[in-house]
Structures are given as structure tokens and as C-alpha cells.
Amino acid sequence: MEIAIQPAMPTYSGGLGVLAGDTLRSAADLGVPVTAFTLLHRKGYFQQHLDATGLQTEEVQPWNPADFCTEEAARVTVSVEDRVVTVRAWRYNLEGRFGHIVPIYLLDTDLDGNSGWDRGLTDHLYGGDTNYRLQQEIVLGMGGVRMASALGLQVNVYHMNEGHAALLTLALLESQLGGGPLSVATEADIEQVRRKCVFTTHTPVPAGHDRFSTEQSIRILGGDRTARLEKLGCFRDGLLNMTLLALRFSRYANGVAMQHGRVSRNMFPEFAIDSITNGVHAATWISGPVQQMLDEEVPTWRRDHLYLRNLVDLQETKILAAHAQAKDDLLAEVASRTGMVLNPKVLTLGFARRAATYKRATLLFTDPQRLQAIAEAAGGLQIIYAGKAHPQDEPGKALIQKVVEDASKYGNDTLRVVYLENYAWDLGALLTAGVDVWVNNPRRPYEASGTSGMKAAMNGVPSLSILDGWWIEGCIEGVTGWAIEDGDSDEEEAQSLYRKLETAVVPLYRDEPEKWGRLMRTTLAYNGSYFNTDRMIRQYSRNAYYPGVLVEKAKVVEEAYAD
Ligand SMILES: *Cc1c(COP(=O)(O)O)cnc(C)c1O
């Protein structure tokens, strides 16, 4: 549903889109033969504005596809309610480091001949209500399959990245039946579809799984399809569940971290769900100064990120110096955006997440006196926040206001707190590379993976996080960061967060810069070498796309040795 293709294209909202983009960037670098489909999102997600009290308002982000993409001549149609909607595609060429192209097709319904409503179906990412969403999912899933065919693509494997794309299975089944009614589909027909489909689920939060009422399904998809989907067990609690639909029609399914695989198996016990842990695209998220340092110290890192493991004996001063530059770049951006001049010597924490309540953005302010004491012991403390709330998420918006309120109530010369507007790609890169510690404290087990801590690790920045999502696999206490220990309440977990700051983070940062440099070095060596999308796309190739076939046969590495 979303892909972060490049910073100037507002075709993504957050983690899901950034991950999709990073995956495709690695596929392009490694020469993996994939093609991606998404919606055009002519009006983008939204630009966030915060007033002095932290009240969020949203502005549309119209953009011109022709500035980035070329229009394809092909046209396909999908049926939505009782209408026929025509779909076109814009092609974006995503080029890898050796010139391999991964085409991304952005589907668009803004065409003469479509009704005014239908022309807007590809306008807003996560806009509108569930009726709008189901109609968009028809364009994405069914339109995507038909467009692939109209473009002449020979597809071996369809990868549904999240349930948003699950309706592609219906288009495949219908094409299997030569356009006949779904009611005549046999088990063998369904098996044919299953052999071509794989699926990744992305969230353990039940509300994160798209669900639609029977009434909506009948009205928008049609009675015949709805009856078939019910028969196939794609309804749960009386609702059409897109995750169930995707699972029913996939030969392979996975969650996005070890723990998320477990949680997903509990949510859907009738299915075998594997896990492939997420990563980030190294060259996209490592800051300029750190990349330059790596090019000097381990020049092979670009070809094969496993060589980052060789950083175990890097001189501490090298990583400290590169990081100091990245921190300066971040602080310059903070100053230009807010006028607040932060001190590059002072311990700086980063917290940037979508403002969903389970992510507990205000946990650090549970005990303001204790936080103040920590700031004094540290010789100052700076905390940089950022994050958007979904326009319809009132509790999320209230959370941003609470953080902004806390920031002005408790902020002073020793404890500086700033909330930056409009968290997006560029700011994400500056923040994850420039802070000293990345903080993440969601309520367990709602974090499927999380990727911003991986971006930080790629830059040698340790995390201080709840043991959920990727951090269960990434945390080596005192070596790659620190765990906030599990408690029975928010209060208890806040105590653990403070304790770790007091006993581990602050003394090390304040008194032992050399040891801090070693911590940064092991963070980059151990976690950078693993939590990247080059490793991840190889795992998809081996486990999901081509099980039993050597990755080398799938032409993964050929181009990588072309130079
Ligand atoms: C990386 C990133 C995200 C996702 O972060 P998570 O830690 O996975 O929640 C969201 N938005 C932006 C702008 C990012 O760069």
C-alpha cells in the first residue's frame, strides 16, 4: 500500500513504506528480479503542522507524478460496487548500485471516463473510511495483478506485503477460472493460486489488520465473491479479514521478527507462520560521515554488509569523530527548524515514532524530578522527539500535545526537550544518525519489529529499548545498548528506564568516552552487519521466493561482482 521511493515523493506514511522501499533498494543492489506495485497517492499522506501547544493539523501533499515517473500505455479495469473503474500505471525505475533496475508501478485511477469519486481512489494514503479503503484494495490487489499481466510480466511469485494487497488472490483465482464465477472454483484451482503466493504480516495489533463488514464486502466486492470468501474461512468475528484471506491463499507466510512470528502464530494458530527479521538499507540510512569512515576502514562493506563485522577492532576515535559530525548536522537542523541551540557535548536521546498510544511517548516523563536529577548528574540531557499521529487518531494527537506540554513544563537549561514537526525520511535519517542513544519503549508485544533502532545501529548509535520486536534479537546488554526490563505496569517499566539511564548510560557517556566509542563500534559491527535489507532479501529469496533453489541460481549476486 505504501513505498518510500525517494524523499521528494510523498508515497509513504511510516515504517511499512520505508521497509518496502529499503527492501526494493536492496533488491536493486543485489540484482534480485522483482517488480513492485503500489498506489500513486496523488495527494500524499500529510504534512504535519504543530502549533505552540502541540496541536496537530494536516495539509495535503499534492505532487506531480510526471516529474518522477513515466506513464505506461496499458489500461486495465476492476469492478468496484457496480462500477467499472479503469486503472493506469506510472513507472518509476529504481536503480541499484550496479545499474540493475527494479521497476515500481504506481497505480492511478485519475482518468477521464472514471466517475469523480473513482478518480480519487488513488489520492490519499490511509485517508477516508473503510469503504474507501476496501475500494483502494481492489485497485491495488486486483488492479495490480491485471496490470502485471497487461505489462507482459511473467510472474513466478506474488509477494503480498501486508494484507492490504490480499485481494490479488481473488484476481488470480478468477483468471485461473477464465473469468468464471468464483462459486465454481475447486480445491485444485485454489491450490494453483497458493503455489504462487507468499505473504508477510506486519503487525500484532489487531486493529492493524484490515477488516470489513459482510455488508461492505457484498456491496463493494460482490455477493458471489463474498460467499466464496466466507466459505474459505476468510471471515472472523463476522468480518472479512484481509490477513486471513492472504494466509488462506499463501504457500508461505512470515512475521517480521522472531517474536512477531510467535505472536502471529498465536493470532492465527491454524497457519504455519515463519519469521524473517526486518532490516534497513545501509547506504540509505548511514550518515555521510560514517559512510566515509567505513569506506576508509572496511571498503568491502558496500559489496557485502557482513564485512561490517570486521569493525570489532576499529579505533574508537574514528567512530566517535564520524558520529560527532553526524550529531553536528542534526543539531544544525534542530536550530534551523526551532531556533533551539543544543550542545553537541551533551548526552542526546532520540525518540521518533508514529504517535500511537502503545508506543508510550510520555514514559520518560513519568517522574519529572527523577529525570531532572538524571540530567543534572549527566551534566545536561537533551531529548529530541518527532512523530505524526494519523489524522483520525485522536488519542495519538493528544499524546503529541502531552509531550509538547511536558517539554515546556519540565524543560530548562539542564534538561532540554524539543518536538520536531513533520517527521519524514530526511529528518529520520538525521535523527537516527545524530543522537547518542535511541530510545524505544512500546508496550509489549505490540511492536512487530521496529526499524528506526536499526537505522541508529547502522550509525553506531546504541538503543535503550523494551525487549520487543527486533530488539529481542539485537540487544546485547552493554555491547549494543541496553534493555528496559519488563515490568507489570508502565510505572515499573519507567523505573527500569530511569535505572538504566542512571547506572549504565549516563556514567559511561560522562566518564568513559573511550568505552563509549567501543560500545558504538560493537553496535555497528554486530547489529549493522545483520539488521540490513541485503541480509533480509536474501532470506526472502531462500525461504519465501525460491525455497530449495540456491540463491545464486536466482541471479542474486552476479551483478555484485561485475566490477
Ligand atoms: C524508519 C522510519 C519509520 C519507521 O520507524 P519504526 O521504528 O519502524 O517505527 C517511520 N517514519 C520514518 C520517517 C522513518 O524514517
Whole-number Å distance, alpha carbon 561 to ligand 1 midpoint, is 32
Q: Whose CA is nearest to atom 1 of ligand 1?
A: 452
* Pocket-testing residue among 5, 203, 449, 452, ligand 1, by greatest number of atoms within 8 A of Cβ: 452
Ligand 1 center to 518 CA (angstroms):
26
Cβ atoms < 10 Å from Cβ of 3: 27
Q: Give whole-number Cα distances, 298 to 96, 97, 284, 295, in Å.
A: 21, 18, 18, 6
Identify the H or E element spanning 190: helix 187-194
Ligand 1 center–CA 7 separation, angstroms: 13
Burial of 112 by CB count in 10 Å (0-12 exposed, 13-18 middle, 19+ buried)? exposed
Ligand 1 centroid to Cα of residue 19, in Å, is 8
Please tell me the distance from the alpha carbon of residue 290 to that of residue 203, in angstroms, as a whole number: 32
Tell me how far the alpha carbon of residue 281 lies from the centroid of ligand 1, in angstroms: 12
Q: Which atom of ligand 1 is nearest to the CA of 353?
A: 9
pLDDT at 213: 98
Contacts of 323 (CB under 8 A, 6+ apart): 289, 290, 433, 459, 460, 461, 520
Between CA 141 and CA 39 the distance in angstroms is 10
The Å distance, Cα 117 to ligand 1 centre, comes to 31
CA of 269 to the centre of ligand 1 (A): 29
Top mutation candidate among 333, 353, 455 for ligand 1, by most atoms within 8 Å of CB? 353
The atom number, within ligand 1, closest to the CA of 455 reads 1
CB 431 within 8 A of CB 386: yes
For a pocket test of ligand 1, which of 162, 388, 451 has the largest count of ligand atoms closer than 8 A to its C-beta?
A: 451
Q: Which residues line ligand 1 (CB under 6 A)?
A: 14-15, 18, 353, 423-425, 428, 450-452, 455
Q: Are strands 274-275 and 252-255 parallel, antiparallel or unpaired?
A: parallel
Contact call for residues 83 and 118 (beta carbons, < 8 A): yes
Q: Are strands 158-161 and 211-213 parallel, antiparallel or unpaired?
A: unpaired
- The Å distance, Cα 14 to ligand 1 centre, comes to 5
Q: Whose CA is nearest to atom 4 of ligand 1?
A: 15
Nearest atom within ligand 1 for CA of residue 440: 7
| Cα 425 to middle of ligand 1, angstroms | 8
How far does the centroid of ligand 1 lie from the alpha carbon of residue 334, in Å?
Answer: 18
User: Which atom of ligand 1 is closest in space to residue 428's alpha carbon?
Assistant: 15
Please give the number of the atom of ligand 1 that sits closest to the Cα of 15: 4
Backbone angles phi, psi at 418, to 5 degrees: -135, 140
Centre of ligand 1 from the C-alpha of residue 414, in Å: 29
Q: How far apart are CA 382 and CA 299, in angstroms?
A: 34
Specify the ligand 1 atom closest to the Cα of 423. Answer: 13
Strand order in the sheet with 197-200: 158-161, 197-200, 252-255, 274-275
Q: Output the pTM of the full model.
A: 0.96
In angstroms, the Cα distances linking 34 to 8, 181, 195, 326, 555 are 23, 31, 17, 34, 11
What's the pLDDT at 154?
Answer: 93
- Those residues of the chain that have pLDDT short of 50 are 551, 554, 557-558, 560-563
Q: Going by CA atoms, what residue is nearest to atom 15 of ligand 1?
A: 428
Mutate to test the pocket of ligand 1, among 11, 18, 470 (most ligand atoms within 8 A of CB): 18
* CA–CA gap between residue 552 and residue 45 (Å, rounded): 38
From atom 2 of ligand 1, which residue's Cα is the shortest distance away? Answer: 15
Atom of ligand 1 nearest to the CA of 452: 7
Q: Ligand 1 centroid vs 13 CA: distance in angstroms?
A: 9
Surface-to-core class of residue 389, CB atoms within 10 Å of its CB (0-12 exposed, 13-18 middle, 19+ buried): buried
Residue nearest to atom 11 of ligand 1 (CA): 14
The CA 527 to ligand 1 mean position distance, Å, reads 17
Whether omega before 445 lies within 30 degrees of 0, making that bond cis, reads: yes
Nearest CA to ligand 1 atom 13: 424
C-beta neighbour count of 451 within 10 angstroms: 25
Q: Tell me: the pLDDT tens digits for 299-341?
A: 999 999 999 999 999 999 999 999 999 999 999 999 999 999 9
H helix runs in 298-440, sequence order: 316-338, 368-377, 394-410, 425-434
Q: How far is the CA of 428 from the centre of ligand 1 (A)?
A: 7
Ligand 1 atom closest to Cα of residue 450: 8
Which atom of ligand 1 is closest in space to residue 424's alpha carbon?
13
Distance 453 CA to ligand 1 centre (A): 9
Task: Tell me the C-alpha distance between 405 and 54, whole Å.
Answer: 7
Distance CA 263, CA 203 (A): 9
